[in-house]
């Protein structure tokens, strides 16, 4: 009897320690999940992406470091070249150097882009699911902004007019845009992003240009308009201005 009691209380304390372990594990998982919402830190000096490896990991498998040479870290000048913006309905053209263009960016959590804006052109509202962006204006003027998440029950707009040499930050995941308000002059910006593969979700394209389309019942209610307005929007051509 007393043995049984002992084993019962042993069982109970095991249960208690198991549940506190579960709680701790859940807490740790939550903390580490938040910590890996951005690119994880490298565990070696470099891990140049082996694009031909059949191994599937988060990112890319590493080339043998003995086979790595200086050219893996180099991309011949291409960001000095103005991009064509005439064919773009939005009037912008983003040239991104991410891990696909420069495999040594693998595991390093960084990438760079040149953005060309036609007169009155814009980089339409979009978000980078995996990166904060820091942008500087090389030529011209940009009206830029981002909108917060629904914290404090509102989506607050932070916006600013930037001139040549000015710097602006777009926090990770938030919807942001850049617009060239000058009807006569183009604008150029360089942006650095805190991911080897920032990703870009252009809001209008994702919502109205998805394939297959989102039901117009869903979108009419979400945007508080008639279904015909949604059908018209869905019939437009939603080009990708990110390369």
Ligand X SMILES: *[C@@H]1O[C@H](CO)[C@@H](O)[C@H](O)[C@H]1NC(C)=O
- Give the residue numbers of the binding site for Mn(2+): 126, 128, 133, 176
114 touches 196 (CB < 8 A) = no
Nearer to ligand X, 38 or 95 (CB): 95
Give me the least distance between CB of 109 and ligand X, in Å please. Answer: 26
Nearer to ligand X, 67 or 239 (CB): 239
Give me the least distance between CB of 92 and ligand X, in Å please. Answer: 8
48 touches 106 (CB < 8 A) = yes
Give me the least distance between CB of 90 and ligand X, in Å please. Answer: 8
Nearer to ligand X, 83 or 130 (CB): 83
Q: Which residues of 70-86 are buried (b: 16+ CB within 10 A; e: fewer)?
A: eebeeeeeeeeeebebe
Give me the least distance between CB of 238 and ligand X, in Å please. Answer: 12
Interaction site with ligand X (CB under 6 A): 83-85, 87-88, 93, 239, 241
| Residues 6+ away with beta carbon under 8 Å from 26 | none
CA–CA dist 181, 143 (Å, integer) = 7
What are the binding residues for oxalate? Answer: 123, 128, 133
Nearer to ligand X, 124 or 140 (CB): 124
Residue 39 CB neighbours (<10 A): 23
């Amino acid at each position: 009897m007393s043995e049984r009691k002992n084993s019962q209380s042993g069982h109970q304390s095991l249960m208690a320690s198991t549940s506190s372990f579960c709680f701790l594990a859940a807490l740790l998982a939550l903390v580490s999940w938040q910590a890996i919402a951005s690119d994880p830190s490298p565990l070696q000096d470099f891990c140049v992406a082996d694009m031909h490896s059949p191994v599937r990991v988060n990112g890319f498998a590493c080339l043998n470091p003995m086979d790595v040479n200086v050219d893996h870290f180099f991309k011949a000048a291409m960001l000095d070249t103005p991009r064509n913006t005439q064919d773009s309905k939005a009037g912008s053209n983003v040239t991104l150097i991410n891990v696909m263009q420069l495999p040594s960016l693998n595991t390093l959590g960084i990438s760079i882009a040149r953005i060309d804006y036609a007169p009155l052109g814009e980089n339409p509202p979009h978000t980078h699911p995996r990166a904060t962006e820091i942008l500087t204006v090389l030529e011209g003027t940009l009206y830029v902004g981002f909108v917060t998440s629904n914290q404090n029950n509102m989506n607050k707009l932070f916006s600013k007019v930037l001139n040549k040499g000015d710097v602006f930050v777009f926090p990770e995941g938030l919807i942001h845009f850049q617009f060239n308000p000058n009807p006569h002059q183009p604008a150029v910006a360089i942006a650095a992003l805190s991911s080897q593969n920032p990703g870009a979700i252009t809001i209008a394209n994702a919502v109205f240009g998805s394939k297959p389309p989102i039901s117009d019942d869903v979108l009419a209610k979400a945007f508080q308009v008639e279904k015909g307005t949604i059908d018209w929007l869905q019939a437009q051509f939603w080009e990708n201005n990110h390369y």
